[in-house]
Amino acid sequence: MQGSLGYVIWTACYLAVLIGLSAYGVHRYFIIYLFLKHRKHGPAPAGRFEQLPKVTVQLPIFNEIYVVERLLRSVSEIDYPRELLQIQILDDSTDDTREVTAACAAELRQRGYDVQLIHRVDRTGFKAGALAVGLESADGEFVCILDADFVAPRDLLQRTIHFFTDPKVGMIQTRWGHLNRGYSLLTRVQAMFLDGHLVLEQTARSRSGRFFNFNGTAGLWRRSCIEEAGGWQHDTLCEDLDLSYRAQLAGWKFIFLSDVVTPAELPVDMNGFKSQQHRWTKGSIQTCKKLLPSIWRSQLPFAIKAEATGHLVSNFAYLLLACLCVLLHPSTGGPQSGWVRTLLIDIPIFLTASVSVAAFYVCAQRELHPRTWVKQMLLLPCLLALGIGLSLNNARAVLEAIFNHKSDFTRTPKYGIERKSQSWRSCKYRALKSTLPIAELGFAIYFSYFVWFALTNGQFLSVPFLLLFQGGFFYVALSSLLPWSPKFSFGASRSAEPIIA
C-alpha cells in the first residue's frame, strides 16, 4: 500500500514538473513567432538632433586590471565631439587597477577629454551604488553605460543618440558581440546562449511592444527616465532588470538595436561562468518577487502583462529541471513499462522542451549566420547539455531568492582574453568556489548508471536524452573541479602602449 502511494506521489510530482517544462517550451515557441512576425520591422529614429546633446559615459569598474586599458582606449576613440562627452570612471577597485585608471584618466585629460574619476571606499550597492553616485555629478542629458569587459565601437553614439529625438524613448540597448567566441567550447556555447536571448528575445519583445530589459551594459539611458523611474536601486542583484521594468511601468519606451553590436569578453572558466549565471538567475527572481504584483495591478494590456510574467518567471525552469533530475530514475518494471515511460514521458519532454530549445537557437543562428548556421548547430547537443549541467547551480540561485538569502554582488573575473594562445591560469583573479561540483559529479555518475540501465533493458529511445544529462553534469563538474588551459604569461597580455594610439 505504501509502495503504491509513493508511486502515485512520484507520478504526480513528475507530471507537474513535465507540465511546467512544457509551458516554458510553449513560451519559447511564442517568442520565435513574435520574432518572425516582427523581424523586418526594424526601428528608425524619429528625426536627428540639429545640435548633438551632451553624453556621460559611465564605466563601473571593480578590480579589472586586465581589461580596463582596453575599455578606456575604446571609449577615447568614440566618434563624438569631445566637448559633448563626459567620461566617468567609477572605480571601486581595491587592487592595482586604481593606479591604472588614475594614469589613464590623467592621460585622457591631457588629450582634452572631460574625465571624472570617482573612487568609493564604501561599496554600498555595488554596481548600482556606483552608477547612482556617478549620476549625481553627471553633466550629460544621456548616459551610456559600459562594463569593463566591453569594447565601445567608434560609431556607438552616432548610431544610437538620434533615437532619443522621440521624447518617449528612455533607453536604447545594443546587441552584445563576442570578442573571444572561438576561444573554447565553453565560450562558443555561451555565445549561442547569448545570441538566442539578444537576437530573438530582445528583438521580439522590443518590436512587438512588450517589456524588455536593459542588459546592464552597452546601452544608453535618458537621465530623466532613470530619475523618474526611481533611480538605481540595489535591493536585487539585477539592478538593470529592476530599473528597466520600473521605467516601462512609468510609461517610457525602450528600443533594442540588433544591428548595432558592442563586443565583450565571455567568461573563459567554468567557475566564473557559473558565478555569473547564479547572479543573473537570483537577481531575476528577486526582481520578479519585487515587481510582478505591480505589473498585474497596472493598467497595462493583458498581452504585455502575460509576456512580462513569462519573462520574469523564466528562470524557475532551472528549478523544475533540477527537480526532473531528482525524479528521474531507471524503471524497474521491465521493458514494457520502459516503453510506456518513453511514450508518455520521454517523447513529450523531447517535443515540448528539447525541440523548442533547438528551434529557438537554430532560429537565432540562422538570423546571425545565414551561411554557416548549420556548422554552428553542430554544437547544439553541447548547448543542451550545458543547460542541464547548470541546473543545480541556477536552481540554488532560485531557492536563495525565494527564501531571501542575502548575498553580495559577485563580479565575474575578466582576463583580457581574445586569442586561443592566452590562458587565465596565472591570473590573480578567481571566481569563488563551492562544494556544488561534488553534487554535480554525483548526478553525472548516477546518470551514467541510468544510461547503462537503459541500454541493457532495451530503452534505446531514452539513451540520447539521458546522455545529455550525463554529459552535461560531467562537463560542468569536471570543468569546475579540474580547470585546464595552455600555459601563457598574463604579463604579456597587458598593453604597454599609451591608451591613445
pLDDT digits (tens, 9 = 90+) for 342-354: 566 656 666 666 7
The residue-averaged pLDDT of 285-312 equals: 97
Distance CA 200, CA 341 (A): 34
Nearest to residue 241, comparing CAs of 276, 212, 204? 212
Distance CA 93, CA 86 (A): 21
Distance CA 379, CA 283 (A): 28
Distance CA 204, CA 241 (A): 17
Distance CA 236, CA 401 (A): 9
Amino acid at 373: W
- Asked if 257 and 173 touch (Cβ cutoff 8 Å), the reply is yes
Specify the higher pLDDT residue, 408 or 432: 408
The residue-averaged pLDDT of 360-364 equals: 95
Query: Over the stretch 229-285, which tens digit does the pLDDT of each residue have?
Result: 999 999 999 999 999 999 999 999 999 999 999 999 999 999 999 999 999 999 999
| Position 429 pLDDT exceeds 70 | no
Amino acid at 269: D
Other Cβ atoms within 10 Å of 137 Cβ, number: 11
Percentage with pLDDT > 70 across the chain:
88
Distance CA 154, CA 75 (A): 8
| Position 15 pLDDT exceeds 90 | no
Distance CA 472, CA 386 (A): 5
Output the pLDDT for position 3. Answer: 61
Report DSSP letters for 299-363, one per residue. ---HHHHHHHHHHHTTTHHHHHHHHHHHH-----S-HHHHHHHIIIIIHHHIIIIIHHHHHHHHH
Nearest to residue 341, comparing CAs of 25, 350, 326? 350
Percentage with pLDDT > 90 across the chain:
72
Q: Is 122 tagged catalytic?
A: no
Query: Over the stretch 190-224, which tens digit does the pLDDT of each residue have?
Result: 999 999 999 999 999 999 999 999 999 999 999 99
CB contact set of 326 (below 8 Å; sequence gap of 6+): none
Q: pLDDT band for position 179 (50/70/90)?
A: very high
Distance CA 437, CA 390 (A): 10
Q: pLDDT band for position 110 (50/70/90)?
A: very high
Residue 317: exposed, middle, or buried by beta-carbon count in 10 A (0-12, 13-18, 19+)?
buried
Among 91, 92, 195, 242, the one annotated catalytic: 92
Query: Over the stretch 41-63, which tens digit does the pLDDT of each residue have?
Result: 999 999 999 999 999 999 999 99
**Which is it for strands 85-91 and 253-264: parallel, antiparallel or unpaired?**
unpaired
Among 91, 147, 149, 240, the one annotated catalytic: 240
Q: Is 195 tagged catalytic?
A: no
Distance CA 213, CA 71 (A): 23
Q: Grid coordinates 555565445 are at which residue? A: 191
pTM: 0.91
Q: What is the CATH number of domain 53-265?
A: 3.90.550.10
- Would you list the domain boundaries of the chain? 17-36+315-481, 53-265
- Asked if 221 and 214 touch (Cβ cutoff 8 Å), the reply is yes
Nearest to residue 251, comparing CAs of 205, 209, 283, 217? 209
Output the pLDDT for position 423. Answer: 53
Output the pLDDT for position 117. Answer: 97
